[in-house]
Amino acid sequence: MCEFDWSVAAAWVQAIGSIAAIMVAIWLGERSARQSRELVERERRRQADIVASTISTKLHLLGVELNKKAHFASVIANQVHEGAVPQLDDTAFQKLFLLDQLPTFGDLRSHFTLFDRDTGILANTTWDVVEGYNPMIASAIAVHKATGNGDQSLINLCTTVVERMQYIQGLCSDTESRLEEVHELDRDQPAGAL
């Protein structure tokens, strides 16, 4: 009769147990890695939502400033058309036509990489256009002063300012809408609801 070898049975049990332990370890490792990826993705999404909310608010404030300054430029152009030429020096032109919100907007640019590709490109493009506004308008003010402050020169300056501000305002509005849509930002939520 065949004699049962307990050492062989123990070796088989040990081998099967080792294989089972390895399979369980692999399953646990995959599960843990999936949970870690989900946690990282949720945190990245949370940070992107916070940055999107901040940028959206800043774009809205910039849009309000653009609207106000474009209105002033239109009023000045209308006054010139009616024959009442306001006497403005360089400082007054700069206060009326240059953007004040610019310095607080630039510190967020490094966070645009948190956004999806299209939103990041739109946000960067908007920033590039906004960033180029003040130097362009400062040059237009200098040209106006260099040409002798004539009525037509002032009308041209005001027209340039209004057109550029309207373009930037539209771009800011589009970017703000995109951020709100992609990041599901709702302006009607109560404070602290995010």
Q: What is the rounded CA–CA span in Å between residue 102 and residue 83? A: 34
Whether 112 maps to a domain, the answer reads yes
- In angstroms, how far is CA 115 from the centroid of its own chain? 8
Largest CA distance in the chain: 125
Whether 191 maps to a domain, the answer reads no
Domain that holds residue 73: 9-182
| C-beta of residue 169 within 8 angstroms of C-beta of residue 61 | no
pLDDT in tens, the chain (194 residues): 568 788 888 999 999 999 999 999 999 999 999 999 999 989 988 888 888 888 888 888 888 989 998 898 888 888 888 888 777 777 888 888 888 877 566 677 787 778 888 888 888 888 889 888 999 999 988 888 888 777 888 888 888 899 999 999 999 999 888 888 888 877 555 554 44
Classify each residue of 29-57 as buried b or exposed e, where b means 16 or more C-beta atoms within 10 Å of its C-beta: eeeeeeeeeeeeeeeeeeebbebbbebbe
Whether 176 maps to a domain, the answer reads yes
Residue type, 186: D
Three-class secondary structure assignment of the chain: CCCCCHHHHHHHHHHHHHHHHHHHHHHHHHHHHHHHHHHHHHHHHHHHHHHHHHHHHHHHHHHHHHHHHHHHHHHHHHHHHCCCCCCCCHHHHHHHHCCCCHHHHHHHHHHHHHCCHHHHHHHHHHHHHHHHHHHHHHHHHHHHHHCCCCHHHHHHHHHHHHHHHHHHHHHHHHHHHHHHHHCCCCCCCCCCCC
Rounded to 5°, the CA angle 42-54-111 comes to 60
Considering its fold, how many domains does the chain have in total?
A: 1
Whether 91 maps to a domain, the answer reads yes
Whether 188 maps to a domain, the answer reads no
Whether 4 maps to a domain, the answer reads no
What confidence score (pLDDT) does residue 194 get?
44
What confidence score (pLDDT) does residue 103 get?
58
